Amino acid sequence: MAKDAVIGAIHPHVLGKFIEGLDPDVEARGKAVTLSTQSLFVSHYDLKERTTYRAGTKATAAVMLEYFPYTDLDSMLDDFDQLRRRRIPRRRLLGGGDETHGDPTRAPEGAGIFPSITMVPYDIAGKGPQHWDEIKEDYAAETLRQYDPFISNLTADNIIASSHWSPLDMEWSSPNSFVGGDMHGCAPFLYQTMCHRPASDLGQYTVPGIEGMNLMGPFQHPGCGAFGTGGPPCCACSTTWVSLSKG
C-alpha cells in the first residue's frame, strides 16, 4: 500500500520472515551475519539529587563515563575473557552518567537521571538467556553497589524509581531488531562495517531484488549511536567518554 517505499527495522537474521520473494542466497548471507560477543544490561535511575562524583566536579562535563576498578590491564582482559565464555564477570564493566549535569531540563530542578550500562553475555553459559529473569534484580543491586567507589550518592536513599533491562528484555522489546539482545544489531567487526554492514548484499540500506524495500536499524552502517533505531535506545550514545580510575 506504500506509494514510494517501505522502511523496516528488520534484522538480517529474520529478513525471510517478513519479505516474500527474497533471494535464497541473500537470506542465507543475512542469517550468517555475526552478532556481537557481548550484550548490555541497562538500568535507569530517577534521582532526588544529581550525582556527586568522588573524582570532583570536572567529571560532570562528560555525559557518559566509564568507571574502571582496574589497576592493571591483565585484570581488565580477564573480565573480557569471561564475557567471551558467556560468563558474568564478578567486577562490572561500568558505564553511565547523570545527563542533568549538562541539561538540567531533563529532570525537575536539582534532580538527576542516571542510565547505567554494563557488559554481559546474552546466553549465560550453562543457564541460557532465560536465566536473566531469575537474576536480574540481584545483578542490578550488585552493579549499583559497585558504583560506590566513584559516585557517593547513587544509593537507595537518593533513588526515586528504577527500571532494569537485561539482554533478554531488550530482545523481547524489539525481537526483529535486537536479535540475541545485541544492542549493536550485529557485531561491529571490521568485516561488518561501512558497505559491508550488516552484509555486502544489504549494505546500501536496500534489499536486492525487492524494489522499494529499505532497511534501517542498529545493524546498518554506521551502527550504534547514529541510526534509525528499531526499539528503545540502550543508552546515551555519541557522547564524550572519560575514563575514571579508582583513586
pLDDT bracket for residue 245 (50, 70, 90): very low
153 shares a domain with 57: yes
- Alpha-carbon separation of residue 46 from 7, 135, 160, 172, 204 (angstroms): 34, 22, 5, 24, 40
Q: Does 227 reside within a domain? A: no
Rounded Cα distance, 110 and 114, in Å? 13
Q: Does 14 reside within a domain? A: yes
Length of the chain as a residue count: 247
27-75 tens-digit pLDDT:
999 999 999 888 999 999 999 999 999 999 999 988 889 998 889 999 9
Q: Does 118 reside within a domain? A: yes
Q: What is the pLDDT of residue 30?
A: 95
Cell of 49: 539529587
Print the domain residue range for 204.
6-35+174-215
Short-list 219, 224, 220, CA closest to 239: 224
108 shares a domain with 153: yes
Write down the mean pLDDT value for the chain: 88
Rounded Cα distance, 14 and 10, in Å? 7
Q: Does 229 reside within a domain? A: no
Average pLDDT over residues 138-142: 97
Q: Does 224 reside within a domain? A: no
Q: What is the pLDDT of residue 143?
A: 97
Rounded Cα distance, 68 and 233, in Å? 24
Q: What is the pLDDT of residue 232?
A: 44
Domains of the chain: total = 2
Whole-model pTM: value is: 0.82
Q: What is the pLDDT of residue 225?
A: 53
66 shares a domain with 126: yes
- Alpha-carbon separation of residue 131 from 36, 89, 179 (angstroms): 19, 15, 17
152 shares a domain with 139: yes
pLDDT value at 226 more than 70: no
Q: What is the pLDDT of residue 184?
A: 85
49 shares a domain with 21: no
187 shares a domain with 90: no
150-189 tens-digit pLDDT:
999 999 999 999 999 999 998 998 888 889 988 888 998 9
Q: Is 191 exposed, middle or buried (0-12, 13-18, 19+ CB in 10 A)?
A: exposed
69 shares a domain with 17: no
59 shares a domain with 94: yes
pLDDT value at 4 more than 80: yes
190 shares a domain with 92: no
Q: Note if the bond before 208 is cis, omega within 30 degrees.
A: no
179 shares a domain with 169: no
Strands 112-120 and 64-68: unpaired
98 shares a domain with 80: yes
Q: What percent of the chain has pLDDT over 90?
A: 70
Q: How many CB atoms lie within 10 A of CB 235?
A: 20
pLDDT bracket for residue 239 (50, 70, 90): very low
Q: What is the CATH number of the domain that holds 64?
A: 3.90.660
Stated as kind and residue range, the H or E segment containing 40 is: strand 39-47
Stated as kind and residue range, the H or E segment containing 79 is: helix 73-84
The letter for the amino acid at 10 is I
50 shares a domain with 145: yes
Q: What is the pLDDT of residue 234?
A: 45
Strands 64-68 and 241-245: parallel
Q: Does 20 reside within a domain? A: yes
